[in-house]
Structure 1
Amino acid sequence: MAHLLVVLLRAPFQTCAFLYVFIAQVVLVLLKRLLLPHFPIYQSLRLQVQRAYLSSASLTYPELVHRLPVTTSEQRAQRVGNGNGNGNGWTGYLIPGHHDQDLRPFTQTPPDGSRCVVLYAHGGGYARGEARMYIPYMERWVACAAEQGILLLFLSVEYPLTSEAPHPAQRDSFIKAYRHLLEVGVSPESIVFMGDSAGGGLCILSALEAEKQGLPQPAASILISPWMDMSLRSFQGGNALVETDYVATANTSVPMFVRMFLGQGQSQHKGDSPDVNPLYRTPESLRYLNPQLVLVGAAEFTLQESKDWAALCLKAGVEHELVVEWGQLHVYALGSSFLDPEVRRKTDQKVVGWISRHIKSYT
């Protein structure tokens, strides 16, 4: 809360714009419920207020969505890697940070099924965000896993944003971090790929690239509201789900993110190229892929491509599970303080259960 107040007070005019948009949306929500009591309501009042806050922030005060930039102690996030700032190497953060660079507890051979390193890719359309912005969520998953006897460690990759370099710089950075884990002795059976939004798409692209480079597949993947369709099929004629999601500008911002990802017309790839769009892969080319857990809200703009990815996995014979949560918004499965506690509990159990099931399947 103190961090939030600091963010709001340092830019008073921006804060006033945010508060105006937020309060106006809440008033409209309440008026509709009052004046049209028999009109069918899709989302709960809690969800509608959450959407009002997040959409207001995304329109007027993007830093509020995850309170960027992030500042935190090394006990919570320890910087690792060999990146030199010019696109070579890789950098990331170990969470919890007290593990420092000591991964020995995770290098047992064979794995005993009770420890796992989650290689994480943050969201933000490949153009925004940073590796530490989900520390509270990761710490919650670590605690949840500990309750089930699993030692969990996150390595969140600080991949180059598309303002620095287009595809494949993001995928290459993620793969280098994966190679590092393998080289220091972490078994692939003890590694899970995980990401949200663009980070979910990056996990898929990286798993495909790992096979191309002769690297083993990780034990499994967890994809939170994955964004992967660079062909923008669900945006033809406009994506109506922006009316129920909080990414209110998605019909204009997502095409912009695609152009940045592909290199503003300089890329040799088109949006429907299988090299950048896994939805255009043939089922036969995916048969080796690791098990995929897809968590998506029913009210968010990535809903259709999540369903399409699950359908493609089914055709390919890839183990997968698709969870579509009623009325939820983009990246709901991160489990923010807005989320209904019961939905958060159920989702956390699904995340940790998927990890436990697949790292233990190798013992």
Structure 2
Amino acid sequence: MVPHADLRAFNEESDWFATITLPTPSDLDDARARFDLEWRDARAQLTDTWQADELDQLDRVVGDLHHRDSAGLVIVQARNGPTLVEHLDEPVVATVHEGPVPRWATVIEGRQRTIAHVIVETDRAGADITAFDGGTVLCTDTVVGDTEHIHRGHPGGWSQRRFQQRAENTWEDNAREVADAVAEVTQRVDAQLVAVAGDVRAQTFLLEHLPTDVADIAVKVEAGSPGGIADEVVRQLSNLVAERVTAAADSVRAGLDSDLAATDADTIVDALRQGRVETLLVHDDLSTDDDVDSRWLDGARLVDRAIVAALATDAEVIVVPKLAIMDAPVAATMRW
């Protein structure tokens, strides 16, 4: 799948765009009223380049949105074209920008933090399996195994060992069923993390029976409460994001000596023009003082123009914090 194919296609819809970010807190008594106020303030900042029917279109789109569906929104309007709405799991501040290209950094950063994952709450009789994409539930499954010999009794005498072995065998058979279901859900949603919570013995059996590719992304969660499980999953997902950023930075460092990477803005602009960029790293600090070819920028910021150029050639784009290796708000690894 081409990364951010929808954003690439949207870039071709117009030569002028409005990019609007809106906070959508849902834990306030007057959340809807605040959301409506934020939208009215944002709408008032749009220039007179927009036609009345385009503003009406935006009003209809925003009117159908629900503040409780996300922590923040990015709305991108193409002049004489469509509207794109992106729901974010992280809060944002209200901003309004217009220019010849959209401001995609916030959208891309939100997407790279939205990692498909599976949470398994297992016991010795089966499991509840839930797949998420960020805060959105993708699918659920429940496995109910054999319960005839689920408890290890204490009958005493010669039969005690036999009863215990039957119980162990039942637990392990149930774990195999759960493992098959977890593997199927993981493949279906292309999950990058499988978090296994619940009974300690059931966790052990399940992890032992997962296919290797699933076991490689599985972690045992010791927390027992829903809140504790959620906190641990968030921590694990944050680690995945950090690992990817670190790997991208390492690739840039490794390529500098062989000219297969660059941290100089002018070099990266030339490479983007030639379609040579494989991965573009951007740090979006909202600055506008870009000391590169103004004809190429054509009124846009370097970060925004670079992202659009990278998407046009199917390059990967990663939004990163300010890295020590970055001389500019961009860095890149090259295809050749």
**Same fold, TM exceeding 0.5?**
no
Which structure is larger by alpha-carbon Rg, 1 or 2? 2
TM-score by length of 2: 0.26
What is the TM-score normalised by the length of structure 1?
A: 0.25
Which has the larger strand fraction?
2
